[in-house]
């Protein structure tokens, strides 16, 4: 029998209460990992997820921290034991609005959620003597080269910022044994996409070469691969999970 590929690993999943983060937590547990689910405000969702995973025989716990607060991030990381890998699946809900109707604080909200939280998380881990072996950031196909939707500007701006940050720091982290990579899903049914009209979501799905939207489980599978030792020679990569709409 093959050994589960995340056996004996402890994985921190930031933004893990719902959506892609929650699917990743479930898959990681099924692959033998112990998961720590970070949440900011979705306490009930995070605790319910962990309870389901424990009821199924897994090892899971929840920890609250606002990842845009430096003190909260430092305290969370300091309170954790050995972490073998982490996932950053953190984003504000997509604001669907032409630029004329978007005020600057909306851009700030997206930037802090996607980029500031990633910077603080990596800095906290890099300050440790023993670093995780792998970190995966959930970006988006909108930052993978194709023309992004014209009325998602705060979200798109933040995802390009996240892509730039991870790629800029990947070499420094790799020099200390920490592999940082990104997964860029196409449009996926999650709480973050609830603001997008159902008809528009359907049209976006039909426009992909594979003719449908992605699922949280498909994104989670890519994340689990990048957390595992199967990807031991991959660092600084951006893996699209987008039905053929992006290639790098």
Per-residue pLDDT tens digits for 70-126: 999 999 999 999 999 999 999 998 888 899 999 999 999 999 999 999 999 999 999
Q: Which two tokens stand for residue 92?
A: 């504000």
Surface-to-core class of residue 48, CB atoms within 10 Å of its CB (0-12 exposed, 13-18 middle, 19+ buried): middle
pTM: 0.93
Per-residue pLDDT tens digits for 197-231: 778 777 877 877 888 878 899 999 999 999 999 99
Please, are residues 112 and 105 in contact by the beta-carbon 8 Å criterion? no
Give the CATH fold of the 10-241 domain.
Rossmann fold (3.40.50)
Section 27-50 average pLDDT: 97
Alpha-carbon dihedral sign for residues 121, 89, 191, 40: negative
Please, are residues 184 and 241 in contact by the beta-carbon 8 Å criterion? yes
Query: What's the mean per-residue pLDDT of the chain?
Result: 92
Surface-to-core class of residue 100, CB atoms within 10 Å of its CB (0-12 exposed, 13-18 middle, 19+ buried): exposed
């Amino acid at each position: 029998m093959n050994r589960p590929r995340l056996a004996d690993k402890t994985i921190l999943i930031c933004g893990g209460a719902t959506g892609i983060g929650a699917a990743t937590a479930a898959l990681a547990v099924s692959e033998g990992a112990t998961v720590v689910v970070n949440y900011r405000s979705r306490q009930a969702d995070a605790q319910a997820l962990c309870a389901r995973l424990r009821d199924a025989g897994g090892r899971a716990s929840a920890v609250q921290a606002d990842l845009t607060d430096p003190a909260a991030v430092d305290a969370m990381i300091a309170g954790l034991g050995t972490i073998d890998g982490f996932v950053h699946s953190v984003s504000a809900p997509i604001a669907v609005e032409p630029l004329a109707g978007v005020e600057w604080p909306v851009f700030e909200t997206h930037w802090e959620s996607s980029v500031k939280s990633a910077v603080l998380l990596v800095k906290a881990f890099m300050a440790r003597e023993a670093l995780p072996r792998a970190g995966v950031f959930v970006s988006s196909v909108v930052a993978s080269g194709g023309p992004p939707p014209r009325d998602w500007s705060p979200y798109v701006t933040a995802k390009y910022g996240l892509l730039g940050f991870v790629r800029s720091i990947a070499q420094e982290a790799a020099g200390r044994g920490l592999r940082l990579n990104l997964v860029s899903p196409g449009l996926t049914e999650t709480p973050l996409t609830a603001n997008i009209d159902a008809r528009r979501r359907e049209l976006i799905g039909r426009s992909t070469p594979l003719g449908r939207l992605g699922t949280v489980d498909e994104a989670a599978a890519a994340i689990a691969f990048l957390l595992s030792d199967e990807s031991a020679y991959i660092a600084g990569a951006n893996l699209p999970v987008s039905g053929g709409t992006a290639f790098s």
